[in-house]
């Protein structure tokens, strides 16, 4: 392959946080990665345009600064070849690493070369299995490490050891003696006690937050910013979610509660909450700030409030409505009254949640909109847009094109399946003729003739397989999920109903925005075809 003066190279180097912690040797350092790659570059007389270094960055995430800069330079056509020491430098997420190496780079006409694996995306004679197996081992390694860390942390939590990075408000770590032991923080514990007393007296979450904010009592985030000298944490107002979590936390009666959240995957930062019955709670693992009687009374009051909340009418657009002025979600305030004739009437208004919480601090404005007027207007507009959508001739054309693409996709997938089956059969036959040669059933000349014929056919089929896979990748990108048959079915279902469900509406509507002049804007999940 002629490489002289053809390729403009971008070298990508990464040393992960895990590598640093594990004390990896010199061979894995940034300088040695560079030296290793430069030996190949010099030998092949390649031109290096730029070097992209992510030092001490996790390989499970692909939003790394210099990796993103590399992708930008590809789009700018600054470079047309990427070289790494090995594929794991791209990242330890197998799926995405393989996608970049075997799909993203080739589709951008970018040559990708892994020096240690001798993998060249432009060399059609090489099998992708090698890089895939390597990536698989990297993936398994990260997953295994993640599981071991999680198991260790869980076992320590079950022993009553505090394993969090920052301690619950009202406590501090027993430093320098034992960072896994909680002791009472004399500065903030009285505030915790006061919060429970306010809740016990019947004071609502918003009132508690406003009271603490008015008195300039540092919120947990501000206090942690002071303790840990973190200037980024500066938001001063108490949040209802913060107080709600504090009031539900059994740690304050001495029963250390941990494991409240979990990561959806070791590959992401996304977290979800466990149900309370799944928390790891160790009784008597820390000193109590609140007595059990007070705690139980507060829980009982909270349960009662939650049950009452559950009896509210199921407003169709609760959670869909946003304030245009500040961007916060709008809540629904309701009230009931009885007419002189005994008829019970309900009133409901949309109001900005930010204003409702912090009106005295002049956040946003007091603009209200009758909820039932909004519901009527939105449902009317949705029906109008849906009818337009079905009537548009362009819609049928889109469906026709998508159907053609889908048919072609099915044909290619069937063809790909047959090729894979033939390749497998050829591998089996090659094994057979090799065993026949060893047994003396066929001589060396016969074996070589058959072997050469089979490998030639196999090479052609591999090229055909690669072409089909590329076509499939391109076809899948042509089909829009928001302009296919499923939307037609959803819309037809909607138009048949007098009062649709929230689930059905969520498939059609992204959000509803209301300004202080009571103007309504509806953002749809589908594009009106006009």
- DSSP, res 103: I
Q: How many helices (H) and strands (E) does the chain have?
A: 17, 17
Q: pLDDT digit of tens for each residue in the chain (530 aa)?
A: 444 457 899 999 987 654 544 444 434 577 788 888 888 888 888 888 999 988 765 555 667 888 889 999 999 999 999 999 887 788 766 667 777 887 788 888 999 998 888 888 888 776 656 666 665 666 666 666 777 777 888 888 888 889 887 889 999 998 888 888 999 999 999 999 999 999 888 888 878 888 888 788 888 888 887 665 554 444 467 888 889 989 999 999 999 988 877 665 544 455 566 777 788 899 998 999 999 999 999 888 877 665 544 444 467 787 788 888 777 788 887 777 677 777 777 788 888 877 776 656 566 777 778 888 888 888 888 888 877 776 654 545 555 565 666 677 777 888 888 888 887 787 778 778 877 877 788 887 787 788 778 777 877 887 788 778 777 766 665 554 444 455 666 777 777 766 677 767 777 788 888 888 888 888 887 654 43
CA 450 vs CA 146, 355, 441, 461: distances in Å: 49, 81, 13, 16
Task: Return the number of other C-beta atoms located less than 10 Å from residue 67's C-beta.
Answer: 22
Please give the sequence-ordered ranges of beta strands (E in DSSP) within 99-228, or none if there are none.
111-114, 119-120, 171-174, 178-184
CATH class of this structure's domain 8-145: alpha beta
How far is 264 from 146, CA to CA, in rounded Å? 12
Q: Full-prediction pTM beyond 0.85?
A: no
pLDDT of residue 194: 93
Q: Give the pLDDT of residue 250.
A: 92
Residue 458, H or E segment: helix 444-478
Kindly indicate whether the domain formed by 171-309 is annotated with CATH number 3.50.50.60: no
Q: Locate the domains of the chain by residue range.
A: 8-145, 171-309, 315-405+459-530
Give residue 518's region: left, alpha or beta (phi > 0; psi -120 to 50): left
């Amino acid at each position: 392959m002629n490489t002289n003066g053809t390729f403009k190279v971008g070298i990508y180097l990464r040393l992960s946080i895990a590598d640093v912690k594990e004390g990896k040797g010199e061979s894995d350092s940034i300088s040695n990665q560079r030296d290793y790659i430069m030996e190949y570059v010099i030998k092949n007389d390649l031109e290096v345009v730029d070097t992209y270094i992510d030092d001490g960055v996790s390989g499970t995430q692909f939003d790394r600064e210099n990796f993103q800069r590399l992708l930008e330079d590809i789009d700018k056509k600054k470079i047309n070849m990427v070289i790494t020491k090995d594929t794991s430098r791209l990242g330890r997420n197998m799926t995405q690493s393989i996608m970049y190496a075997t799909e993203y780079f080739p589709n951008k006409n970018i040559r990708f070369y892994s020096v240690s694996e001798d993998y060249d995306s432009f060399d059609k004679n090489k099998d992708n299995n090698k890089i895939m197996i390597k990536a698989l081992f990297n993936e398994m390694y990260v997953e295994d490490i993640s599981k071991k860390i999680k198991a260790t942390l869980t076992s320590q939590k079950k022993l009553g050891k505090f394993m969090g990075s920052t301690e619950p408000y009202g406590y501090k770590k027993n430093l320098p003696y034992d960072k896994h032991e909680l002791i009472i923080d004399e500065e903030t514990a009285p505030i915790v006690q006061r919060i429970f007393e306010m809740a016990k007296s019947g004071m609502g979450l918003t009132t508690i937050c406003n009271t603490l904010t008015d008195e300039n009592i540092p919120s947990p985030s501000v206090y942690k910013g002071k303790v840990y000298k973190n200037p980024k944490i500066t938001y001063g107002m108490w949040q209802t979610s913060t107080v709600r979590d504090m009031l539900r936390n059994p740690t304050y009666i001495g029963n250390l509660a941990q494991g409240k959240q979990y990561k959806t995957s070791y590959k992401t930062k996304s977290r979800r909450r466990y149900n309370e019955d799944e928390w790891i709670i160790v009784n008597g693992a820390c000193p109590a700030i609140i007595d059990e009687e007070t705690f139980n009374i507060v829980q009982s009051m909270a349960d009662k409030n939650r049950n009452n909340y559950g009896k509210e009418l199921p407003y169709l657009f609760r959670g869909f409505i946003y304030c245009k002025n500040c961007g916060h979600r709008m809540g629904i305030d309701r009230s009931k009254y009885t007419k002189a004739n005994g008829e019970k009437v309900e009133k409901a208004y949309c109001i900005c949640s930010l204003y409702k919480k912090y009106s005295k601090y002049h956040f946003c404005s007091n603009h209200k909109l009758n909820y039932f007027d909004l519901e009527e207007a939105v449902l009317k507009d949705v029906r109008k847009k849906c009818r337009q959508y079905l009537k548009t001739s362009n819609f049928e054309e889109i469906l026709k094109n998508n159907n053609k693409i889908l048919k072609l996709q099915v044909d290619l997938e069937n063809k790909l399946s047959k090729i894979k089956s033939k390749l497998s059969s050829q591998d089996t036959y090659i094994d057979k003729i090799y065993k026949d040669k060893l047994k003396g059933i066929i001589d060396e000349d016969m074996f070589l003739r058959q072997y050469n014929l089979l490998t030639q056919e196999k090479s052609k089929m591999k090229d055909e397989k690669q072409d089909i896979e590329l076509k499939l990748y391109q076809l899948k990108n042509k089909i829009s999920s928001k302009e296919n048959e499923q939307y037609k079915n959803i819309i037809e279902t909607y138009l048949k109903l007098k009062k649709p469900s929230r689930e059905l509406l969520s498939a059609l509507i992204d959000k509803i925005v209301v300004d202080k002049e009571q103007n309504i804007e509806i953002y749809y999940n589908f594009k009106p075809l006009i």
